[in-house]
Amino acid sequence: MLQLNLEGIKDKSAWQERNVKLPEFDVQAMMAETKNNPVWVHFGAGNIFRGFIAALQQSLLNQGLEKSGIIAADTFDYDIIDQIYRPHDNMTLMVSLLPDGTMKKEVIASIGAGLRAGTEFPEDMEQLKAVFRNPSLQMVSFTITEKGYALKNIEGAYLPVVQQDFENGPEKCSHAMSKVTALLLERFLSGGTPVAVVSMDNCSHNGEKLKTSVLTVVEEWEKRGFVTKEFADWVNNEEKVSFPWTMIDKITPRPAKVVEDALKELEIGEMAPVITGKNTYIAPFVNAEEPQYLVVEDRFPNGRPALEKAGVYMTDRDTVNDTERMKVTTCLNPLHTALAVYGCMLGYESIAAEMKDTELKKLVELIGKKEGMPVVTDPKILSPEKFLDEVLTKRLPNPFIPDTPQRIATDTSQKLAIRFGETIKSYCKAGKDLNELTGIPLVIAGWLRYLLAVDDAGKEFTPSSDPMLSVMQEKLKDVHLSDPDSADGKLSDILTNDTLFGCDLYEAGIAEKVIKMFKEMLEGPGAVRKVLKKYL
Residue 88: which CATH number? Answer: 3.40.50.720
Last residue of a domain, one of 266, 291, 315: 315
Rounded Cα distance, 152 and 150, in Å: 6
Task: Tell me, yes or no, whether 300 and 402 share the same domain.
Answer: no
- 175 near 151, Cβ under 8 Å? yes
pLDDT, tens only, 476-529: 999 999 999 999 999 999 999 999 999 999 999 999 999 999 999 999 999 999
pLDDT of res. 457: 98
- Cα 382 to its chain centre, rounded Å, is 19
pLDDT, tens only, 348-359: 999 999 999 999
Rounded Cα distance, 366 and 38, in Å: 49
Q: What are phi and psi for residue 139, nearest 5 degrees?
A: -145, 150
Which residue type sits at 382? Answer: L
Which residue type sits at 88? Answer: H
Task: Tell me, yes or no, whether 154 and 31 share the same domain.
Answer: yes
Measured between alpha carbons, how far is residue 154 from residues 151, 160, 203, 467, 484 in Å? 10, 13, 18, 10, 36
Residue 118 backbone zone (phi > 0: left; psi -120 to 50: alpha; other: beta): beta
Rounded Cα distance, 331 and 335, in Å: 7
Q: What is the DSSP letter of 303?
A: B
- Examine residue 488 and state whether it is found in any structural domain, yes or no: yes
* Beta-ladder partners of 366: none
Task: Tell me, yes or no, whether 82 and 178 share the same domain.
Answer: yes
- Examine residue 331 and state whether it is found in any structural domain, yes or no: yes
Task: Tell me, yes or no, whether 123 and 246 share the same domain.
Answer: yes
Rounded Cα distance, 98 and 508, in Å: 42
pLDDT of res. 309: 99
Report the interhelical angle of 439-450 vs 511-521 (nearest 10°): 50
Task: Tell me, yes or no, whether 300 and 347 share the same domain.
Answer: no
Which residue type sits at 442? Answer: L
- Examine residue 3 and state whether it is found in any structural domain, yes or no: no
Rounded Cα distance, 162 and 465, in Å: 25
Full residue range of the structural domain in which residue 157 is found: 8-315
Counting every residue written for the chain, the total comes to: 536
Q: What are phi and psi for residue 330, nearest 5 degrees?
A: -135, -55
Task: Tell me, yes or no, whether 232 and 350 share the same domain.
Answer: no
Q: What is the pTM of this model?
A: 0.91
- 350 near 399, Cβ under 8 Å? yes
Task: Tell me, yes or no, whether 368 and 448 share the same domain.
Answer: yes
Last residue of a domain, one of 287, 315, 343: 315
- Examine residue 160 and state whether it is found in any structural domain, yes or no: yes
The segments of the chain whose pLDDT lies below 50 read: none
Closest CA to 289 of 340, 351, 367, 381: 351
Task: Tell me, yes or no, whether 311 and 323 share the same domain.
Answer: no
Q: What is the DSSP letter of 294?
A: E
- 100 near 3, Cβ under 8 Å? no
- Cα 408 to its chain centre, rounded Å, is 12
pLDDT of res. 154: 75
DSSP 118-137: STT-HHHHHHHHHHHH-TT-
pLDDT of res. 359: 99
- 281 near 299, Cβ under 8 Å? no
Closest CA to 170 of 113, 116, 232, 242: 232
What is the maximum span of the chain, computed from C-alpha positions, in angstroms?
A: 73
- Examine residue 224 and state whether it is found in any structural domain, yes or no: yes
Strands ordered across the beta sheet of 241-242: 111-116, 70-74, 40-43, 139-142, 195-199, 241-242
- Cα 499 to its chain centre, rounded Å, is 23
Task: Tell me, yes or no, whether 222 and 149 share the same domain.
Answer: yes
Task: Tell me, yes or no, whether 514 and 529 share the same domain.
Answer: yes
CATH number assigned to the domain comprising residue 407: 1.10.1040.10
Rounded Cα distance, 197 and 218, in Å: 15
Task: Tell me, yes or no, whether 356 and 258 share the same domain.
Answer: no
Q: At 479, is the secondary structure helix, strand, or coil?
A: coil
Q: What angle is formed at CA 272 by the lines to CA 268 and CA 274, rounded to 5 degrees?
A: 150
Beta strand pairing status for 20-21 and 92-97? unpaired
Last residue of a domain, one of 261, 287, 315: 315
Residue 84's H or E segment, with its range, is none
Residue 524 backbone zone (phi > 0: left; psi -120 to 50: alpha; other: beta): left
Q: Residues with Cβ < 8 Å from 270, sequence gap 6 or more? A: 1, 3, 4, 87, 284
Beta strand pairing status for 40-43 and 139-142? parallel
Indicate the number of domains in the chain. Answer: 2
Q: What angle is formed at CA 369 by the lines to CA 364 and CA 372, rounded to 5 degrees?
A: 90
- Cα 222 to its chain centre, rounded Å, is 33
Closest CA to 372 of 345, 391, 397: 391
Which residue type sits at 478? Answer: D
- Examine residue 86 and state whether it is found in any structural domain, yes or no: yes
- Examine residue 1 and state whether it is found in any structural domain, yes or no: no
- Examine residue 304 and state whether it is found in any structural domain, yes or no: yes
- 348 near 403, Cβ under 8 Å? no
Rounded Cα distance, 410 and 445, in Å: 17
Task: Tell me, yes or no, whether 486 and 522 share the same domain.
Answer: yes
- 492 near 504, Cβ under 8 Å? no
